[in-house]
Structure 1
């Protein structure tokens, strides 16, 4: 049993069946949680040290590092059963989509910081940190994750490996190659065209006497 299946097995019904039908989304959410931790640690490390006055710059750097980790985890785990593109093309689209996601994630932070001025000294340090967390990691990440999940499935990993090819045969028709030697009129393969027995005398005199 995989890690995801183990987690889903502990989910109560009817949510368990829903989670099983959307296993990719569950994996994507787990990867998102992992990169969220990476993003948060880098962001607050920079913001509370060398980039104290530049929170947006700190967020962009943290976002870029998190996106690299996200590509590796999503490519090798969340969407490992998907593909359809050459690796360099896939990577280009992944980072392009993720770049848009990063923009979406820091737009709420920009509004919070420079439109509502929720920054020291206009507000307390506690208020500033709460505002940064809500705008960047609650609102921003929800916007980013919704967009990225849709775009990854639609553009980056568009095809599922091992998909069943639909048959073009009519319902109930025999597969090609079966009954290749059958007579189109339904006659037996070895039957005489005129319905005669193979050993019948051509003049109708029964079997030939070989004595």
Structure 2
């Protein structure tokens, strides 16, 4: 039932988009859904990261970011499997989940590299810089650069290995039977 409501929201939004853009969005619907999931997990990731960073892990921003990414990755798996790539895949759920988390684990490392470089190579941390500069650098390196690099890697990896289109026929037939 919830899936039908989400689809109807997407359809109603697409209906309001002017025609030249609508056909472009429909043609790239999977990427659009992936971006919506990414936006959702961006909020989950940053909410948890800042909560941890400003409470229980103030001296460990990279650890706080890793925990936040892990929680956001679990949310991402559920949303991508059930919405973004629901007509792809076809593997056994355990195998698919394993591939998803391997790709996501590599993406976590990709995401953390810019933050680590910012903090420990460029020394954009207190006391070398002000709190404002540190937090701005953390946000740009961890939540903008790192997340964009990881997002590109994830989209490519999910489409290629986790939810390949050649296996999508199996899932499409399964959805048609429901």
User: TM-score range, shorter-chain basis?
Assistant: 0.7 to 0.9
What's the TM-score once normalised by structure 1's chain length? 0.74
The Cα shift of 1:18 comes to: 1.1
Q: Does 1:34 align with 2:40?
A: yes
Q: CA RMSD in A?
A: 1.4
Counterpart in the other structure of 1:78: 84
* Match of residue 134, structure 2, among 128, 138, 143: 128
Q: Which residue of 2 aligns with 1:64?
A: 70
5+ residue gaps, structure 1: 164-211
CA distance in 1, matches of 2:133, 2:16: 38
Q: State how far apart, in whole Å, the 1-side matches of 2:67 and 2:60 are.
A: 11
Which contiguous aligned blocks of 4+ residues in structure 1 show a shift greater than 3 angstroms? none
How much does 1:13 deviate? 4.3
Structure 1 window deviating more from structure 2 (135-144 vs 12-21): it is 12-21
**Measured at CA, do residues 80 and 127 of structure 1 come closer, stay the same or move farther in structure 2, by a change above 3 Å?**
same
* CA distance in 2: counterparts of 1:125 and 1:79, whole angstroms: 41
**Cα offsets for 1:173-200 (capped at 9, x unmatched):** xxxxxxxxxxxxxxxxxxxxxxxxxxxx
Alignment partner of 1:160 out of 152, 157, 168: 168
How many equivalent residue pairs? Answer: 163
Alignment correspondent of 2:107: 101
Which has the larger Rg? 1
Which of 89, 93, 96 is the matching residue for 1:87?
93
Shift of 1:3: 1.8
Distance 2:140 2:120 in 1: 15
Are 2:23 and 1:10 equivalent residues in the alignment? no
SS at match of 1:93: helix
1:114 matches 2:124: no
Q: TM-score, normalised by structure 2?
A: 0.87
In structure 1, how many angstroms separate the alpha carbons of the residues matched to 2:22 and 2:141?
Answer: 31
> SS at 2:40's partner residue?
helix
